[in-house]
Amino acid sequence: MILIQRLRFLNFGVIAVILILCLFAYPFTANLAMRYLQPRPMGNGDIAPLFTDQIQYWERDIMRWSTAYQIDPNLMATIMQIESCGHPTVASPAGAQGLFQVMPFHFASGENMVDPHMNAYRSANFIRECTGYANGDVGLTLACYNGGPSVTWRNFDTWAHETQRYYVWGVGIYQDASAYQENSDTLNEWLRAGGQNLCNRASMALSLRLP
């Protein structure tokens, strides 16, 4: 009888130790689950090979951001291609900042607008907003990203010429990227129209060898 009581006491002690270990291990295992059990982004597991070297430089980050914010990585890569060609600190005359050329009013006070991760976060918020205005239409989402939400309910011929060009280039590049093509005639057209100069600046900022 005494032996049985001791065994019961021992079993209770083992169970208590296991529960304590589980309690302390929970934060670690929870972090692992959050890190490795995230849903996979759309696409083939990486961005299309057609994007320029400056965009390929950011591929791992693009995949990480697309997973975190549930946005097609090739859409994020297309926007980065046209907006900055991967230049992390470039600014436009209108004040747009960083990799995704996000306008200052999208940021909260004190946020570093050219920090790549913060820039991607604010860009993703606006992409989702534009996707809502565009009812999921990728072309209108791209136009909204460049010209603002009002373009989604106005005729194409009323858009600014810059937004019209952005739409044509963006849709062409994105469609080729979605097909996982190695080359894009639309991307080459964008490069000839002035994009190459932007990419050369990005190469210098990233310390990449110029083509």
pLDDT digits (tens, 9 = 90+) for 68-88: 999 999 999 999 999 999 999
DSSP for 40-52 reads PPSSSSS--TTS-
Predicted local distance difference test score (pLDDT) of residue 211: 54
- Band of residue 25 on the pLDDT scale cut at 50, 70, 90: very low
Give how far the C-alpha of residue 46 lies from the chain's centroid of Cα atoms, to the nearest Å.
Answer: 12
Predicted local distance difference test score (pLDDT) of residue 12: 45
Question: What's the average model confidence in pLDDT over 155-181?
Answer: 97
Question: What's the average model confidence in pLDDT over 204-211?
Answer: 81
Positions marked catalytic:
83
Predicted local distance difference test score (pLDDT) of residue 45: 62
Predicted local distance difference test score (pLDDT) of residue 4: 41
Q: Which residues contact 61 (CB under 8 A, 6 or more apart)?
A: 116, 117, 120
Question: What's the average model confidence in pLDDT over 44-63?
Answer: 93
* % of the chain with per-residue pLDDT over 90: 76
For tokens 């009002």, what's the residue? 150
**Helix, strand, coil in percent for the chain, rounding step 5:** 65, 0, 30
SS3 state at 72:
coil
pTM of the predicted model, to two decimals?
A: 0.79
Q: Which residues contact 151 (CB under 8 A, 6 or more apart)?
A: 140, 143, 144, 159, 163
Question: What's the average model confidence in pLDDT over 44-55?
Answer: 90
- The first and second tokens of residue 57, run together, are 């430089």
Question: What's the average model confidence in pLDDT over 124-150?
Answer: 97
For tokens 């980050």, what's the residue? 61
Asked whether the predicted pLDDT for residue 156 surpasses 80, the reply is: yes
* pLDDT tens-digit readout, 26-39: 333 333 333 322 33
Predicted local distance difference test score (pLDDT) of residue 208: 86
Predicted local distance difference test score (pLDDT) of residue 17: 37
Max Cα–Cα distance, the chain, nearest Å: 93
- Band of residue 210 on the pLDDT scale cut at 50, 70, 90: low
